A = this chain, B = another copy of it.
């Protein structure tokens, strides 16, 4: 059996299993997805999952650890903008981009965070959250120092951002009846554009609102 306990050097076979497991876990949930489901979709023998990942739970852990880094806000992506409004806008774009880069994993993460059965992954999730809240705080403080933003609790801002995103994404089927999608555009693309616009707007509104 290959070792993957510390650093993760995943071969193509493992990456393929991960990709399929990710989609199934996101769609049906971890518990409702059997290793035989995964094996069938990946066209491999059931035993290969244990051979490569030791256990189903460990597959989940590897899968999460492998992808979670992509969700961390990278300040370099927006701090080049000196105008606070522009920086905020760029940050939002980067934020939405990062989430959309792997929607399946993010759904798994939130489901796992809710379930108390496997609370161990909450640590990874918390670290991610802390990181992103700190980045958000920096952007807010920058605007405050420039005299254009009113300070607002970044924890609350982050909650609203992430909550709006999740609700937007996860209720795809519900949203479809309320909106018209321009032809030649995929639903997800449209969602991404509208979500970005909406988030930019509400953040600006919150940060410049005077009671």
Contacts and interface: CB of A to CB of B under 8 A. Distances in A.
Interface of A: 27-29, 31-32, 107, 110-111, 113-117, 119, 122, 125-126, 129, 133, 155-156, 159-160, 162-168, 170-171, 173-175, 177-179, 194, 198, 201-202, 204-206, 208-209
Contacts of A159: 164, 167-168, 171, 198
B166 A164 contact: no
Given A31-B31, A111-B111, A209-B209, A163 B168 contact: yes
A179 B155 CA distance: 9
A37 to B, nearest CB: 11
Given A166-B163, A179-B155, A206-B205, A174 B114 contact: no
A115 B173 contact: no
B171 A164 contact: no
A175 to B, nearest CB: 7
Contacts of A179: 155
A39 B172 CA distance: 36
Contacts of A113: 170-171, 174
8 contacts: A29-B29, A29-B114, A29-B117, A159-B167, A163-B166, A202-B202, A205-B209, A208-B209
